[in-house]
Amino acid sequence: MKSFLRLFSVGLLLALAHSLPAFAQLKTDSPLPTHQELNRLGLERGWWGHAILNPSRDKIKHMSIDEDTIYMQATSGVTTAFDSESGQQLWAVHLGRFDEPSFPAVSNENQALIVVGSTMYALEKRTGKTVWTLILTGQPSTGPSLDDKHVYFGTLDGSVYAYSLRKIRQLYEERRLPQWSMEAQVWKYKAGKEITSPPISTGRVVNFGSSDGILYSVNALDRKTIFQLETDKPIIAPLTRLDNTMFMASEDFTFYALNMFSGRVKWEFTSGLPIRKTPWAIDNTLFLLPDRGGMYCLDPETGARRWWKPDLTNFIAILGNTVAASDGNGNLVMVSRDKGETIGSLPLRRYTVRTGNDRTDRIFMATESGIVICLRQSGHAYPVFHRFPDRLPLLPEITPDDEESSSPEAEANSTE
C-alpha cells in the first residue's frame, strides 16, 4: 500500500509538472498586477510562478521565506520550492499522507525542516532530497526550530522536546531512521498546558510560551529552568527575537519586551485588545498587530509608539524607507516607515496567502490556487538581507564606463 501511494504521488507530481505551463498561463490572465499599477507605488515585479498542486481539490496552506528560498505547502502535502530571487522552481516533493496537518517550513543555510503529522522531514534546500526522517514523540502543536546543536518542537500535551542534530545524522548514516528516532532525544520539558509558540533558542537558552500563560526559559543543554514569567492569560502569538531581546504577547492585552537570558522585563505595552499575530522586529523597528486593533509601529528599545494605522491588519515587508502591509479589504498598502503616512495601495484581494518577511526586502504573495508573485522596489535588483546580512552573496564590482574613460591610461591613449 505504501509503495502504491509513493507511485501515485510521483505520478501526480509528474502530471502536474507537465500541465503546469498551460495552467499557469490560463490562471494568470487577470490577477497579475500590471507594470503601471506597480510603478505608481515604486514597485516592480521580480517574478511570478505557480506551485504544484491539484487545483480541483488543493489549496496553498503555508508560505515560508528565508534569504534564498520560498516554500509553498499545499493541503495535499506537496511542497514546492522556488529560488526567491530568480523565481526558478527548484523542486516539488510530496511529504506524508494526503491532507495530514502540517506546519510551515523552517530552515537554516543548508536544510529545510517540515513537520507533517507526527513526522519531521529534513530536506536539502536546493534539491529537495530527503536528508533524514524523524518520528516525533507526541502530537506536535508547533513547527520545529533550530540552533547549531538541536532541533526543538512543542506538543499538545505541554511538552517540549530537544533532539540532537549530530545524533540524528549518525542514526541516518547507520540507516537506523526513522525506527530509532527516540535515540536522538536529548531532553523533554513538561509545561502546564499546550505549547503554543515554536521554541526560540540562542544556543544557550530555549524560550517558549504555553496556553497556561507562562513563558518558560530553560538551559539548551540540560533543560534546567532558568526563569519563568507568569501572565494572566494564555500566550498564543509566536515569540519574536531581536538580538538579546525577546518580545512576547499575552491574551491579557499586554505586550512584553524582556531580556532573553535573565527574563528581566525591559518595558510593557498595553494594547487594550488581545494579540494573537506574530510581532515583527526588524532592525530598529517593531510592528504589533492586536486583533481588530490596526498596526502599531514601536521603538524596540523603549516601547515608545511611533505611529498607529487603524486600517492595517498584517505586516508584509520593509523596503528601504517604506513598509508594505495589508488592510482589511485585502489591499496591498504602502506606508512611510518613519511616520506611517499612506503612500498608496493596490487591490490584490485574490492574493490571500501572505506572510511577513523579516529576512529580505521582498514582497511575496500568493493565491490559494498556487500563483505566487515577488515584488520589489523599482531598480533594486539585489536584495537587502535584514536578519543575516552576512549571508548576502558577494556582489560583482562593476567599474562605470565614465571612470574607465577618465583613467590616466585612457587619457594617454587619447593623446597618441
In this prediction, residue 197 carries a pLDDT of 87
Residue among 103, 75, 78 nearest 91 (CA): 78
pLDDT tens profile 342-358: 999 999 999 999 999 99
In this prediction, residue 221 carries a pLDDT of 94
9, 1 contact by CB (below 8 A)? no
Flag whether pLDDT at 270 surpasses 60.
Answer: yes
Handedness of CA 307, 313, 316, 319 (dihedral sign): negative
* 113-137 CB burial, b ≥16 within 10 A, e <16: bbbbbbbbbbbebeebeebbebebb
N-term to C-term CA, the chain: 82
Flag whether pLDDT at 6 surpasses 70.
Answer: no
Average pLDDT over residues 54-68: 93
Flag whether pLDDT at 413 surpasses 90.
Answer: no
> Left, alpha or beta for 17 (phi > 0: left; psi -120 to 50: alpha)?
alpha
In this prediction, residue 387 carries a pLDDT of 85
pLDDT tens profile 272-286: 899 999 999 999 999
In this prediction, residue 220 carries a pLDDT of 97
Say which residue the cell 487594550 belongs to. 272
Q: Which residues, 6+ apart, have CB-to-CB distance to 350 below 8 Å?
A: 31, 367
Handedness of CA 107, 191, 303, 310 (dihedral sign): positive
SS3 of the chain: the string is: CHHHHHHHHHHHHHHHHHHHHHHHHHHCCCCCCCHHHHHCCCEEEEEEEECCCCCCCCCEEEEEECCCEEEEEECCCEEEEEECCCCCEEEEEECCCCCCCECCCEECCCEEEEEECCEEEEEECCCCCEEEEEECCCCECCCCEECCCEEEEEECCCEEEEEEHHHHHHHHHCCCCCCCHHHHEEEEEECCCCECCCCEECCCEEEEEECCCEEEEEECCCCCEEEEEECCCCCCCCCEEECCEEEEECCCCEEEEEECCCCCEEEEEECCCCCCCCCEEECCEEEECCCCCCEEEECCCCCCEEEEECCEEEEEEEECCEEEEEECCCEEEEEECCCCCEEEEEECCCCCEECCCCCECCEEEECCCCEEEEEEECCCCCCCECCCHHHCCCCCCCCCHHHHHCCHHHHHHHHC
Flag whether pLDDT at 410 surpasses 50.
Answer: no
Q: How far apart are CA 263 and CA 286, in angstroms?
A: 19
Flag whether pLDDT at 395 surpasses 80.
Answer: no
pLDDT tens profile 105-160: 999 989 999 999 999 999 999 999 999 999 998 899 999 999 999 999 999 999 99
Flag whether pLDDT at 301 surpasses 90.
Answer: yes
Tell me the average pLDDT of the chain: 89
Flag whether pLDDT at 39 surpasses 80.
Answer: yes
Average pLDDT over residues 163-190: 94
Pick 103-230's CATH classification: 2.40.128.630, 3.90.400.10, 2.60.15.10, 2.60.120.620.
Answer: 2.40.128.630
Q: How far apart are CA 156 and CA 36, in angstroms?
A: 49
